[in-house]
Amino acid sequence: MKKRFMALMCASIATLGLVACTSETGSGTVPETTETEAAETDSTEATEAEGMETEETDVQEAPASAIDLSGVTLKSDGVLSVGCEVGYPPFEDFADDGTTPIGYDIDIITAVADKLGLEVNIINTAWDGIFAGIDVNYDVVCSAVTITPERQETMLFSTPYINNYQSVVLLADDDKTISSFNDLDGMTIALQKETTSDILMSDYKSTGTIDIQIVANEKVTSCFTQLQNGEVDAVVVDSTVADGYINSSDDFVIAYKDTAEAEQFGIAMGKENAALQAAINQALAELEEEGYIQETYDYWFGAAAE
């Protein structure tokens, strides 16, 4: 997986400039100073000192946000706290240092925060129960979240920032032909639990449409490991995630992609935080207009996503 360090993350960073002033006195005889002159000098020095203090304060002030944040409620002043399941490449993953979050979602939410004049704090959270942390542990969730009517009943969503489809991934040397999900009949498939893939395949199974064995994992990375090890026949996963794996490895192939109806990913937030929703939507619109979203998409998903 290519590692992109365009995203700046995790910790709140404050840059404070301290101004140091020095004066040098030349050699020679120093004339006596009258009381009046001394008072004038003290007054001038005090005025200059006040000016320097004012200048120093100005330097330390955070840059003004280009987007109106009136009415926006945040967990921490000046910080956008983001719940994210780090371990869902290429949307979110750890860099080679094992601690720095990177990925498509990380780049997008960091750019949004920058547009809002906020620092970003990525909070690594398990997918199972991630939405319960909104307004409790973090302000938003940006973690390949599909916008669904059910979720919209309890959360607000930003405008979509990427389209997605459900797909079937096989090993590259597998000669099976998959032209629909019905062709998975009789197979053992891996997927990440509590995801759209899990909901879809569980519905196929519960209705008797196909007879499949489902291996539900906490992490999507485990699904691909199981496929490589021959423990499962296929992986059902978001097409965008599949694109990332195909783009970085020759071991896998997308055997089928359901393009009948696109899913859309959005940034989720609390139902009462409409002001934050409006601000994030404005930031996304500006990023779209500037070409940043497409550029970032091309970087993380590459030719495999075309």
Which pLDDT value is given to residue 10? 37
Q: What is the distance between the terminal CA atoms of the chain, rounded to a whole angstrom?
A: 18
| Adjacent-strand bridge partners of 101 | 94
176 lies in the same domain as 292: no
For residue range 200-241, list pLDDT tens digits in order: 999 999 999 999 999 999 999 999 999 999 999 999 999 999
83 lies in the same domain as 210: no
pLDDT band at 261 (very low <50, low <70, confident <90, very high): confident
Domain count within the chain: 2
User: Which helix (H) or strand (E) is 124 found in, with range?
Assistant: strand 119-124
Which token pair is 302? 């590459």
- Of 40 and 289, the structure prediction assigns the larger pLDDT to 289
296 lies in the same domain as 231: no
Pairing of strands 188-192, 155-157: unpaired
140 lies in the same domain as 278: yes
Q: For residue 103, how many other CB atoms are within 10 A of its CB?
A: 28
Answer whether 0.85 is exceeded by the pTM. Answer: no
Q: Would you say residue 47 has pLDDT above 70?
A: no
Nearest-CA neighbor of 148 among 94, 186, 200, 96? 200
Percent of the chain with pLDDT over 70: 77
Q: Which domain holds residue 124?
A: 79-161+266-305
Do the domain assignments include residue 51? no
168 lies in the same domain as 258: yes
Do the domain assignments include residue 17? no
Which pLDDT value is given to residue 301? 85
CB 93 within 8 A of CB 86: yes
The CA radius of gyration of the chain, in Å to the nearest whole number, is 27
For residue range 134-174, list pLDDT tens digits in order: 999 999 999 999 999 999 999 999 999 999 999 999 999 99
Q: For residue 130, how many other CB atoms are within 10 A of its CB?
A: 20
